[in-house]
Structure 1
Amino acid sequence: MDSVGADFLAHIQEGQLYKYTNVVKGWQHRWFILDPREGTLSYYLSENDTKLQPRGYISLESAVISPSDEDSNTFSVNSWTGECYKLRATDARARQDWVNRLRATAEYHSQKNIQASLRDYPRMSYVSDFCPSGVKKSFADARQHLSQAENSYIDIVRVIEKLPSQGTRLKCTDPDLLIIKATSQSMMCALENCYKILQHSSIEQPIVRTYSFLNSKPSSSSTHSKRKHYTHSST
């Protein structure tokens, strides 16, 4: 890992943010800690409580971090589990800093998980029956389908983000729509990385290696290990 990556992982960001709570239906001060190495965002009642168990804990792998249209300070963090934190920074600059670091952490752990899955998954090699032109055509077809999927993903995001943020009708902050955005982004990230890894492997190896399709969901043991840390709290 280069020095930039090492510095990024070593920098734990913490600070005070407003969190929208369902209990009082309003904003409350909470102390947040972003740990890039662990890929987590946790929060406490105050800075003095950081030695205690966090009030809430969310995994950032494949999470979607979205600045809000309500104002220049609000943003949301939506995990692949459907959990959502609606947060507000002190000003626009602070919001952008949190959004940038949260997105970088989410992207890093998404990529890391995909790479680990491909390395650990059993592989079977065989001598290719395809000539080089056949391999190129296969990758060209795969690239075309991937581009179509990307366009569909962009269209979905645009439709959702064009919805109003307030009102009684369907809003862009609807939890189900945020889950769609999060899972769609995770899927596209996985497809892009699989394509790049397979393409790289076909160039380096004299034989073609085949990979079984990977389940997009984490294994049950992985899911359990992550979910057991969640503290489901609305405060």
Structure 2
Amino acid sequence: MPPEWYSALWSTPRQWELALPVVLALVLTTVIGLEREAGAKSAGLRTHTLVGVGSAVFVLISKYGFADLLGQENIALDPSRVAAQIVSGIGFLGAGLIFVRQDAVRGLTTAATIWLAAAVGSACGAGLPLLAVVATAGHFVVTRGLQPLARATRRRRREPPMLRLRYTDGLGILRTVLERCTGAGFAVAQVSVERETFTDDGVRVAALTLLLQGRGDLAGLAGELAELDGVRSASTGDDGPRDDEEL
């Protein structure tokens, strides 16, 4: 069969060799996907594997897919042009995995592993198998090996200043409380009215939680607010553990 008959179908004779990087990307991203699948994440085995294999194929196309055109006059190709689009293009897939539930961001780690799977596949397609293997090993170091360190850090980190108040409603106390917090060096990040109750004599009492930002004297501020007319109690504390994303 003369070459001109199938030149459009077979642009380079190295296609069997180019299948090896795709197979390597398949193996490495399957390993990453299995780890995500075991953790019951929203993107598991098939997603990570397809992303890795697709990235490898795109890089190979970018490098070798237009080799038959290089011999023609006035044609110059940039082998990185297709591969460069993987970095930005994979962001759309990762963005679909991120969502917010009860003011907590979920899916960030899974979106990052999708990005890493694309990088591993790209490294395989670019002829950098050692880099791809190291990146795959790094995935397990981060997602599994750093979990104890992350938990220890969460236990030791300083909780945001929290102030709880119970005061008689209708006396304009909230405005005074906010002014005192600002004067003590704090910024009020969140105000939450938890409940309103009535005393035996019909006085309405409000329960308030203030989430503060700053490094002022929180205990001193609580003592100062407790002395205000109409303030029944003032205490410091937190709402318990915060809902962080799992690795």
TM over 0.5: no
Identify the TM-score tier after normalising by the shorter chain: under 0.3
TM-score (norm 2): 0.22
TM-score (norm 1): 0.23
Computing the radius of gyration from Cα coordinates, the structure with the larger value is 2
Q: Which has the higher contact order (CA 8 A, sep 6+)?
A: 1
